[in-house]
Structure formats: structure tokens, C-alpha cells
Amino acid sequence: MASVCFGVDIGGTAIKMGCFDDAGKLISKWEIPTRKENNGEQILPDVVEAIYGKLDELSLDKNHVIGVGIGVPGPVFADGTVNRCVNLGWDVFNVADRVKELMNMPDLSVKVANDANVAALGEMYKGSGEGYKNIVMVTLGTGVGGGIILDGKILAGTSGAAGEIGHMPVEPTEEVSCSCGKKGCLEQYASATGIVNMAKIQMGDRAKNISAKDVIDLAKAGEEDALAVIERLGIYLGRALASVACVVNPQAFVIGGGVSKAGHFLIDYIEKNFVTNVFRPCKDVKFVLASLGNDAGIYGAAALILI
């Protein structure tokens, strides 16, 4: 084995680690806990220790490492400086420089990007976005995240906030506040939380203790109120993606996150409303389900180095 690359996806609870060969083939993946105490000062030393441990295991030394790609849960500037990762306790510092320092390899290629953007890159690199160069990944989880890849590269944006489509304003009459402080964000309808909240309004007492998965299962079984909830999700998300399409004119939307496990049933509702609202020259965009699941981050982090 000539050389390896590490893809690291730092989350609030666990750090996913991947060791790849130089063609992007995953050799080994594992997880370590995220130690957030003392403003997360142990996180990067833990990552470096895990890298060394893996190198030992593979009978390699650090000179076999062609690079380390890292996804972090927060805004990142192009030079690798993070701008406060609240979930990790991190303030403002250069993650790339810190990793080079910890590995005592000043010339090592270390690239850092926002985790949602890195996941989008991963799907383009080895997932269902393979073969495309312009994609928008939409992650429907507890919230709604997004990542934009243009011409094969992450669009980070001026303040690292490009692709944050969960906070597009979609409902001017909303009275409840989003986690971001605004009212009527896409995330309030198209996330697991949003599904549950809409179900509570639609179903009243019957929605006590209901989960997003319950609502989706009920809708699939044809329950009318649950269908109305999914229809509403489709209207907001389809219309929002029609706006995104005439802004960046992508080849494909890659739909991921827990809610996307609803599969083509959900995609159909989104696409139906997309088609009605999209500007014709932008209409030939594919809707595909993400295929890498929780591994998108490590693949994308590796892709920061390998492509």
C-alpha cells in the first residue's frame, strides 16, 4: 500500500473516521467519542491519535499519509479556520494548521469544510451524485441542512453559510419561531421536527407522542391527515427547491437524512410541487436519494484531499 488518506467527520457525539487508499477506496472505518469538555480541546489530539493508531495497525508510518480531510459542524473559511462550532465548544481557530502541528507535518495536505457541504461532496464522489458535477444535497433530519457542489467543488459562500436552505423563508404567515429566530423557515415544515409539529396541528390529540416516522407510515397507509402533512411538506420543499434551481441550476438534488428514508413516496410529493414551480430552462434536474448514509461525511472528507 503506497499511500493512504484520512476522512474525518466530527460530530457532536462521535467522530467518524475513515482510512482510504489514494483511489478513494475505503480501507477501514471506525468511530471515536467526541470529547467536548474544556471547549473541545481534546478533539483534534484524539483524531491525530486515532490516525496514528490506524497507521500502526496497517504497518504504515505518517509519511504514507497523503492528507487529512475534515468535516466540522459549523461555518469554515477557505483556509481551514472555523468560525465557532457551538456543538463542539470551539471558538475561532485554524483547524488545518492545528492538525499539521499535532502531526508535526507542516507540509501535510489538511482540508477542512462544513460537515453538510462535505456530505454533499461525498455523495458526488462515491454516492448517488456520482457522475454529476453540480448538485444540491438536501438533508432532511432533525433540521434541514444543505450543501452545494458546483463544478465538482464545495460552494462555501462568503461567511461559510452557502447552501443553508433550511432557513429559506417559505411561509410568511407562520407565527411560531424557528430555532434560528426567524419565522416560517423551510426547516419548520420539511424536517422530522416539522413533520411532528404539522401532525400535531393536523391531527390534534391523536398526534400525542407521534414520531415523524409514524406520520410517514400512516401517510403511506393512506391515512388522510398524515397525507395532508406530507402534502404540505411537499409543497414547501418543492417550491423552495424550484427557487434553488433557478439560482444555481444544478443537475441533481440529492435527498438525504433520516426523513429521506421515506424514499420515493416522499420524493414524489416533492417533485410534483417542484415541477409546478420550476422555471422551464431549469426543469431537467434529477431527484435522487442519498446512498452513503452516515458514511457520506468520511467519503466527502477524503474527497477534499483526493479530488
- What is the closest distance, in whole angstroms, from the C-beta atom of residue 193 to its own copies in the complex? 17
Q: How far is CA 131 from CA 134, 152, 241, 251, 303, in A?
A: 10, 10, 21, 10, 14
Task: Find residue 83's DSSP bridge partners.
Answer: 92
| Binding piece for its own copies, criterion CB under 8 A, among 59-67, 166-174, 215-223, 258-266 | 166-174
Using CB under 8 A as the binding rule, whether residue 173 contacts its own copies is answered as: no
Using CB under 8 A as the binding rule, whether residue 113 contacts its own copies is answered as: no
- Angle subtended by helix axes 296-306 and 115-126, to nearest 10: 80
Q: Nearer to its own copies by C-beta: 105 or 248? A: 248
- What is the closest distance, in whole angstroms, from the C-beta atom of residue 240 to its own copies in the complex? 8
- What is the closest distance, in whole angstroms, from the C-beta atom of residue 34 to its own copies in the complex? 22
Q: Which of residues 11-50 bind its own copies (CB under 8 A)?
A: none
Using CB under 8 A as the binding rule, whether residue 120 contacts its own copies is answered as: no
Q: Which of residues 52-91 bind its own copies (CB under 8 A)?
A: 75
Report how far residue 30's alpha carbon sits from residue 126's, in angstroms, rounded to the nearest whole number.
18
| Binding piece for its own copies, criterion CB under 8 A, among 16-24, 86-94, 168-176, 258-266 | 168-176
Q: Nearer to its own copies by C-beta: 16 or 239? A: 239
Q: Nearer to its own copies by C-beta: 134 or 260? A: 134
Using CB under 8 A as the binding rule, whether residue 148 contacts its own copies is answered as: yes
Q: Nearer to its own copies by C-beta: 164 or 271? A: 164
| Dihedral of alpha carbons 244, 247, 251, 256, sign | negative
- φ, ψ for residue 87, nearest 5 deg: -65, -20
Report how far residue 157's alpha carbon sits from residue 177's, in angstroms, rounded to the nearest whole number.
25
The binder of its own copies chosen from 53, 247, 265, 307 (CB under 8 A): 247
| Binding piece for its own copies, criterion CB under 8 A, among 40-48, 105-113, 278-286, 297-305 | 278-286
| Binding piece for its own copies, criterion CB under 8 A, among 1-9, 98-106, 121-129, 174-182 | 174-182
Q: How far is CA 281 from CA 74, 245, 246, 284, in A?
A: 34, 10, 8, 8
Q: Cα-Cα-Cα-Cα dihedral of 93, 96, 98, 100, to 10°?
A: -160
> Which amino acid, one-letter code, is at 50?
A
Q: Nearer to its own copies by C-beta: 208 or 280? A: 280
71-94 per-residue burial string, b: 16 or more CB within 10 A, e: under 16: bbbbbbbeebbbeebebbbbeeeb
Report how far residue 230's alpha carbon sits from residue 258's, in angstroms, rounded to the nearest whole number.
15
| Binding piece for its own copies, criterion CB under 8 A, among 17-25, 214-222, 234-242, 258-266 | 234-242
- What is the closest distance, in whole angstroms, from the C-beta atom of residue 257 to its own copies in the complex? 18
| Binding piece for its own copies, criterion CB under 8 A, among 65-73, 149-157, 224-232, 298-306 | 149-157
Residues engaged in binding its own copies (CB under 8 A): 75, 134, 148, 150, 155-165, 167-169, 172, 180-182, 185, 235, 239-240, 242-244, 246-251, 276-277, 279-282, 284-285
